[in-house]
Amino acid sequence: MQMSGAQMVIEALKHEGVDTVFGYPGGAIMNVYDEIYKQDDFQHILTRHEQAAVHAAEGYAKVTGKVGVAMVTSGPGFTNAVTGIADAYMDSIPLVVISGQVPMSLIGTDAFQEIDSVGISRSCTKHNYLVTDAADLPRVLKEAFYLAATGRPGPVHVDIPKDVTAQIAEFDYSRPVEMETYKPTTKGNARQIKKAIEAIAAAKRPLLYLGGGIISANAADEVRAFAKMTGIPAVETFMARGTMGADNPLVISMLGMHGSYAANMAMSETDLVIGLGARFDDRVTGKLSEFAKNADVIHVDIDPASISKLVNAEYPIVGDVKYVVEEMTTLAKGKVDPERYAPWLETIDHFNKLHPLGYEEEAGTIKPQWVIERIGQLLGEKANISTDVGQHQMWTAQFYPFTRPRQFISSGGLGTMGFGFPAAMGVKRGDMERVSINVTGDGSILMNIQELMTSVEYKLPVINVILNNHFLGMVRQWQTLFYDKRYSETDLSMQPNWVGLVESFGGVGYNVETKEEFDAALKDAVEKNVVAMINVSVSRFENVLPMVPAGGSLFNMMLEYKDK
């Protein structure tokens, strides 16, 4: 069938079953937007900034497991989107980002709103395309969706010059994707899996080290079943929160820089690390030479480049973690004796009792950790929790009782302030049944505050809970600990009228000074089901603890620090 390049984009999105596109129009993408105007197969959500469009698509992708789609124009439209694309790349989120480009005849002339978009996105996408002929569009778009979702997921960028969107060509979307050069390994090597099981059976203190790859691979059920059958305890990375479920007796909370004492000690004492979809990030390992020093490593990952990149794996297994863990469970039957690990579980229990995750209450002040726990108590499973970046993010990861995968949506790898609110909008769009909470800070929330308009317009109610300490809290914490309390540019004493701000966009706002007020505000916001901002005054100098200083050893945690 003959059609224009712009029509092809719409048709391709329909064929891919896309129900939502987040975006922002502009000159170079106008032909496509003209076609968007004429269709009602999917909803276009007009964010108020291109960065937010990509974060919203990320939130949508994370909560649904589908490919998120964002659309932007050329030049500044695209460069604004880059932070979101880089964020998705670091956290392996499947996205297709379509950008307009100046007409082919103007490429390379420094034309108005021209930028080398594919040049810019090359280093922060799984793959990218500059489409120079409309006849290539069906193949390219099909490949883009396929690449984004398969293997190690990630963002794919498609840049389309304006004249290509106007060009008429044949549209045939029925041809299967044929990429001779791209064949991800999903089935792990059977011999390696067998050897890994033998190592598990011989270990005395094995430890499951669960990463975000499990959530991408929808493998949480398989991992829980494997843990239950073998009786092996597990630590979760920040990206894997919710994999085991907070009430699972085998989970030892989060590990890493702000991990629990028990999780970090378990990792330091284990004799066999079973890494599943985790990439041994520096925030997790601390000092590499001291990381799990006495342990062999089984490493299962879909990305061969992640294996032995930082920590040498004695048992490398390249494959889809869902498939590999299923295989491991089958093979472990009758070979792995949970009784063998009983003393190990006792040791972990001892670690848990020695320094449980906690905080000290202070009369007259709300502790930020309490707010997180309280949201958990009041909403628990009923909420999807997004966060921005900073102390509030770490407290959320530590104190929220996540019970399921895809419940916790946060910017892990890139650590993007301004991620939380637009992502929470995308989360709401992807899961309208649950409450979408964005836990944020008084620094982070202002980075994409314009999305209040989008959120109100499209009835995507997000409850923004600001843990307001009048500081860029995490930087302030580092300044306290490592810069002799020189609070250079982190004091945010100057504050907007939060309630007035959100109300001016048509949402509701609450200033909260007491626990009772917080409960009432959250209840009211949930009932009203509108865009809300709960500004909670929390203790100003609270630190995220435990803390492993950057480059320090996991077992050398700072457990207490009293700040005045």
Show which residues are catalytic: 50, 112-113, 162, 474
Please report how close the Cβ of residue 164 comes to another protein at its closest, in angstroms: 14
**Joined tokens for residue 124:** 């922060």
Nearest CB to another protein, comparing residues 2 and 123: 123
Instruction: Tell me the C-alpha distance between 407 and 239, whole Å.
Output: 11
Cα–chain center distance at 280: 16
**Joined tokens for residue 37:** 């105007």
Nearest CB to another protein, comparing residues 23 and 138: 138
Cβ–Cβ contacts within 10 Å for residue 464, how many? 30
Please report how close the Cβ of residue 552 comes to another protein at its closest, in angstroms: 21
ω into residue 546 within 30 of 0, thus cis? yes
Instruction: Tell me the C-alpha distance between 418 and 388, whole Å.
Output: 6
Residues contacting 41, CB < 8 A, separation 6+: 10, 13, 14
Nearest CB to another protein, comparing residues 180 and 339: 180
Please report how close the Cβ of residue 110 comes to another protein at its closest, in angstroms: 19
Q: Evaluate the CA torsion angle 463, 467, 471, 477 in order and state its sign.
A: negative
**Using alpha carbons only, how large is the chain's radius of gyration in Å?**
24
Residue 385's φ and ψ, nearest 5 degrees, are -115, 115
Contact 85, 157 (CB under 8 A): yes
**Joined tokens for residue 366:** 């709300």
Contact 518, 526 (CB under 8 A): no
* Sites of contact with another protein (CB under 8 A): 118-119, 122-123, 126-127, 130, 132, 147, 179-182, 303-305, 308-309
Nearest CB to another protein, comparing residues 225 and 305: 305
| Widest Cα–Cα separation across the chain | 72
Please report how close the Cβ of residue 275 comes to another protein at its closest, in angstroms: 16
Nearest CB to another protein, comparing residues 309 and 434: 309
Please report how close the Cβ of residue 100 comes to another protein at its closest, in angstroms: 18
What is the DSSP secondary structure assignment for residue 366, as one 8-state letter?
A: B
Burial 148-157 (b: 16+ CB within 10 A, else e): bbbbbbbbbb
Nearest CB to another protein, comparing residues 271 and 303: 303
What is the DSSP secondary structure assignment for residue 271, as one 8-state letter?
A: S
Please report how close the Cβ of residue 144 comes to another protein at its closest, in angstroms: 11
Please report how close the Cβ of residue 122 comes to another protein at its closest, in angstroms: 5
User: 49 by DSSP, 3-state: which?
Assistant: coil
Please report how close the Cβ of residue 291 comes to another protein at its closest, in angstroms: 15
Residues contacting 482, CB < 8 A, separation 6+: 549
Instruction: Tell me the C-alpha distance between 61 and 536, whole Å.
Output: 29
Instruction: Tell me the C-alpha distance between 26 and 53, whole Å.
Output: 14
Nearest CB to another protein, comparing residues 305 and 558: 305
Write 472-480 long-range contacts (CB < 8 A, 24+): 472/390, 472/441, 472/443, 473/390, 473/391, 473/392, 473/441, 473/443, 473/542, 474/389, 474/390, 474/391, 474/394, 474/544, 475/390, 476/541, 477/391, 477/543, 477/544, 477/547, 480/541, 480/543, 480/561, 480/563
Nearest CB to another protein, comparing residues 318 and 409: 318
Amino acid in position 326 = E
Nearest CB to another protein, comparing residues 147 and 525: 147
Instruction: Tell me the C-alpha distance between 51 and 39, whole Å.
Output: 25
Please report how close the Cβ of residue 186 comes to another protein at its closest, in angstroms: 15
